[in-house]
Amino acid sequence: MPNRDPLVYAHRRLIGEVFLLRSQVQDMMARRDLLVQQVKASARWELMKEWLEACGHWNRAEEYRRHLFLSGGINYQSGASPRLQPESVVGSRFWEEPSF
Flag whether pLDDT at 47 surpasses 80: yes
d(CA 24, CA 12): 18
46 domain-assigned: yes
- What pLDDT score was predicted for residue 96? 53
pLDDT of residue 32: 97
Q: Is the pLDDT of residue 23 over 90?
A: yes
Structural domain count, the chain: 1
Give the three-class secondary structure for 2. Answer: coil
Indicate whether 78 belongs to any domain: no
Give the best-scoring range by mean pLDDT among 43-47, 49-53, 75-79, 81-85. Answer: 43-47
Band of pLDDT at residue 3, cut at 50, 70 and 90 = low
Give the domain extent around 52: 6-72
- Half-sphere exposure in the Cβ direction for 94 (13 Å, CA): 11
